[in-house]
Amino acid sequence: MCDYLDMIKTDMTRNRRVGTMLAALSATALALAACGETEEPVKNAVGTADPTSTMASDPNATPANEIKGAELAKGTFAALKSAPAGTKSVTGVAYLAQHDKGTTVTIDVKGLQPDTAYMSHLHEQPCAKDEGGDHFQFDAKGPEAPPNEIHIAFTADADGAATTTVSNDNPKTKGAKSIVLHLEDKDGTKFACADF
Ligand SMILES: [Cu+2]
């Protein structure tokens, strides 16, 4: 329960949909009180991986492409046509594995800005359609946040590379068509995409 709350709390720092965030904040604050934590402003986790969160970088997780018995999809990242200057050299791959414990996504990206934080999500459209469209959701009427969506926060290393794995308990990601990389700017600018 409390680990799950940590996950939600971490994600809220990245959620730009203020209405959702405020609703989630009040609900989480109540629940956190029950976990013995005091209510504090959510700190911005940009630039750090939260090891308590399954939705942030987990350097020890088994990569999606190494999970035995999984149904595996692979995508190759390319810069979007709209990618701003300085982001167009991105390359890399994404793996989406559906397995008996849920879904695991791994991204392995190069050509990023050194020591810089980024966000990515599973999206519901292919890259060629509205740059991946909206976020993929397990439940289309559910919250616009994990665990109903898969968000992957990551930070590039000093060489501009990042490898990140996240997991979700739900294996039903058939509707996910792409993974989109976003800048951590105020608009969450999309700059790269990989189709599955
Ligand atoms: Cu996205």
pLDDT, tens digit, 9 for 90 and up, residues 85-116: 999 999 999 999 999 999 999 999 999 999 99
| Cβ proximity of 77 and 88 under 8 Å | no
Q: Looking at the 3D structure of the chain, how many domains does it have?
A: 1
Residue 51 has pLDDT above 80, yes or no: no
Quick one: pLDDT at residue 39? 40
The answer to whether position 189 is within a domain reads yes
The domain in which residue 74 lies consists of 46-195
What percent of the chain has pLDDT above 70?
70
Domain holding 179: CATH number? 2.60.40.200
Cα(55) to centroid of ligand 1, in Å? Answer: 14
The answer to whether position 59 is within a domain reads yes
- In 3D space, the residue among 179, 193, 144 whose CA is nearest the CA of residue 14 turns out to be 144
The answer to whether position 29 is within a domain reads no
Pairwise CA distance, residues 72 & 104, whole Å: 9
**CA distances to 106, 113, 155, 161, 168 from 149, in Å:** 15, 26, 20, 24, 9
Cα(36) to centroid of ligand 1, in Å? Answer: 33
The answer to whether position 26 is within a domain reads no
The answer to whether position 110 is within a domain reads yes
Q: Which residues surround ligand 1, an ion (CB under 5 A)?
A: 121, 180
Cα(67) to centroid of ligand 1, in Å? Answer: 24
Cα(120) to centroid of ligand 1, in Å? Answer: 5
The answer to whether position 88 is within a domain reads yes
Token pair for residue 179? 């993974």
Cα(135) to centroid of ligand 1, in Å? Answer: 6
Cα(68) to centroid of ligand 1, in Å? Answer: 28
Cα(118) to centroid of ligand 1, in Å? Answer: 11
pLDDT, tens digit, 9 for 90 and up, residues 150-196: 999 999 999 999 999 999 999 999 899 999 999 999 999 999 999 99
